[in-house]
Amino acid sequence: MVRIEIEGRGVLIAGPLEDIARRFEDELVRRGFTRKSLMNQLRLLAHLSRWLQARGIAVGELTAGQVEVFLAERRRTHTGLFSRKALGPTLEWLAYEGVIPAAATIAPTATDPVELVGFEGYLRVERHLAASTIAANVARARRFLAGYAPPEGAVALTAAEVTRALLDEGVTRRPVSVKAFGYTLRALLRFFFITGVTSHDLSAATLVIRSPQPSRLPVGASRDEVAALLVSCDRDTSAGLRDHAVLLLLAHLGLRAIEVARLRLDDLDWRRGEILVRGKGNRDERLPLPAEVGEAVVAYLQEARPAGVGFREVFAADRAPLRPLTREAVGGIVERACDRASLARFGAHRLRHTLGEQMVAAAVPLDAIGQVLRHETALTTAGYARVDVTALRDLAQPWPAMTGGGRS
């Protein structure tokens, strides 16, 4: 039995995991866990150890299913501490140390039908969609097949099931969600027809869901607003150095939030002064790296990036557990900078529009703007033509002269 004291509070660990408790504590401290997070992880270790002992389960034989049973039983009498996400760092470390099988760290999933597995592969290989987009589409397709496919499976689908699914979707969800559901069904049903799962193309049965939106111009932040965001970063701190580099990448190179999150150490070519951008649709493109942006990234790498992290992504979270930034985390950096600069909150994409507007003001041709912003089609870039109000005013024709009390 081991008792670990942290600032006057103790955790008692008994059972098959007590011998490694001290090593686990050292690892949590090394990874920068806060006191509260550290205590929670030790409590989880203690609960898991006692549960294994009570049920006579050997640590080396722990399975993913048994982990789910453990979490389900503990949730009945304890708080939300017992979740797969919360237990993740504990399980990952135990597997890394060889204490439990690696398979025990993987949450069990229901077996998908072969048609859905094929659809996922189609989205990844043929459509080159991002992992998050694939996951969202597969989740909608899985929900449709589970709720509306006949007992015979996808092969027996008819237009009636498709229409009913969309109508049901509209009862409880917003129009934008119903539209996304419709897009997924259309792609799924076309895939089914092309691959011979269904004998008829049922994609035409997907109703057109209209959600009128006002015409939106790509509005960016002003130069003063961008300057205020950059000044708000306290570069005497690790987080401030990181945020300053992230904001410069967004505003001066027009990177998307996900592209900043994906940026890896290998993508920075210091000798050539270039950066490899891992963009949408698995499109990798190189851009020149401006001196100011490069200096900010270097300052972060040399002075602020945590040492010894086990990943190659450039930007890391500043709170434990140490992990690469996500797209959402990059957006949070922009929003917090807005708060510090006393600006109304806006997202990371607005800084991308800022670069587009600046190039329009500098009379950069639209095709060149499209190349810098890495647009898939010229139609997307054409939206920036509308932000040059001065140029558009020159195109406006005077109203016809009034004749005979009316308009001619």
Check whether residue 292 and residue 324 sit in a common domain.
yes
With tokens 């970063």, the residue in question is 233
Residue 77: its pLDDT value, please? 63
Check whether residue 165 and residue 92 sit in a common domain.
no
Token code pair at residue 209 = 């869901």
The three-class DSSP label of residue 281 is: helix
Catalytic residue, from 74, 262, 353, 375: name it.
375
Q: Which of 134-138, 210-214, 351-355, 373-377 has the highest mean pLDDT?
A: 134-138
Check whether residue 124 and residue 232 sit in a common domain.
no
Identify whether 176 is part of a domain. yes
Catalytic residue, from 235, 242, 244, 352: name it.
352
Check whether residue 73 and residue 133 sit in a common domain.
no
Answer with the one of 360, 380, 401 that is the final residue of a domain: 360
Identify whether 401 is part of a domain. no
Token code pair at residue 213 = 């939106």
Catalytic residue, from 74, 140, 235, 256: name it.
256
Catalytic residue, from 186, 278, 280, 327: name it.
280
For 406, phi then psi, to 5°, come to -140, 180
Identify whether 304 is part of a domain. yes
Band of the pLDDT at 374, cuts 50, 70, 90?
Answer: confident
> What is the distance between the alpha carbons of residues 279 and 325, in angstroms, rounded to a whole number?
16
> Has 75 been annotated as catalytic?
no
Band of the pLDDT at 103, cuts 50, 70, 90?
Answer: confident
Residue 289: its pLDDT value, please? 92
Query: Mean pLDDT across the stretch 141-170?
Result: 91
User: Looking at the predicted structure, is the pLDDT value of residue 340 above 50?
Assistant: yes
pLDDT in tens, 48-90: 998 988 888 888 888 888 888 888 887 766 666 778 888 888 8
CATH number at residue 192: 1.10.150.130
Residue 187: its pLDDT value, please? 94
Catalytic residue, from 47, 140, 244, 384: name it.
384
User: Looking at the predicted structure, is the pLDDT value of residue 394 above 70?
Assistant: no
Identify whether 101 is part of a domain. yes
Check whether residue 234 and residue 314 sit in a common domain.
yes
CATH number at residue 352: 1.10.443.10
Check whether residue 253 and residue 343 sit in a common domain.
yes
The three-class DSSP label of residue 399 is: coil
Check whether residue 279 and residue 197 sit in a common domain.
no
User: How many structural domains compose the chain?
Assistant: 3
Check whether residue 289 and residue 342 sit in a common domain.
yes
Identify whether 212 is part of a domain. no
Residue 145: its pLDDT value, please? 93
Instruction: With beta carbons less than 8 A apart as the criterion, state whether 280 and 373 touch.
Output: no
> What is the distance between the alpha carbons of residues 140 and 285, in angstroms, rounded to a whole number?
31
Identify whether 232 is part of a domain. yes
Q: Give rounded-to-5 percent helix, strand, coil for the chain.
A: 60, 5, 35
Check whether residue 73 and residue 190 sit in a common domain.
no
Range with lowest mean pLDDT among 98-112, 294-308, 322-336, 367-381? 367-381
Band of the pLDDT at 246, cuts 50, 70, 90?
Answer: very high
Mean pLDDT of the chain: 83
pLDDT in tens, 287-326: 889 999 999 999 999 999 988 777 889 999 887 677 888 8
Residue 232: its pLDDT value, please? 95
- What range does the domain containing 325 cover? 223-360
Check whether residue 119 and residue 25 sit in a common domain.
no
> Has 256 been annotated as catalytic?
yes
Residue 172: its pLDDT value, please? 79
Residue 274: its pLDDT value, please? 92
Identify whether 168 is part of a domain. yes
Q: For the stretch 283-317, what's the b/e string if a residue is b when 16 or more beta carbons lie within 10 angstroms of its beta carbon? A: eeeebebeeebbebbebbbeebbeeeeeeebbbbb
Identify whether 405 is part of a domain. no
The three-class DSSP label of residue 332 is: helix
pLDDT in tens, 2-12: 677 665 567 88
Instruction: With beta carbons less than 8 A apart as the criterion, state whether 207 and 175 touch.
Output: no
Query: Mean pLDDT across the stretch 394-407?
Result: 58
CATH number at residue 34: 1.10.150
Span between the terminal Cα atoms of the chain, in Å = 96
Instruction: Record the pTM.
Output: 0.58
Check whether residue 78 and residue 21 sit in a common domain.
yes
> Has 183 been annotated as catalytic?
no
Check whether residue 301 and residue 231 sit in a common domain.
yes
Using CA atoms, how far residue 253 sits from 54, 305, 318, 373, in Å, is: 57, 21, 24, 8
Catalytic residue, from 127, 186, 190, 349: name it.
349
Residue 174: which residues within 8 A CB-CB, separation 6 or more? none
> Is 362 or 331 the better-scoring residue by pLDDT?
331
Cis amide linkage into residue 108, ω under 30° from 0: no
> Has 353 been annotated as catalytic?
no
Residue 408: its pLDDT value, please? 46
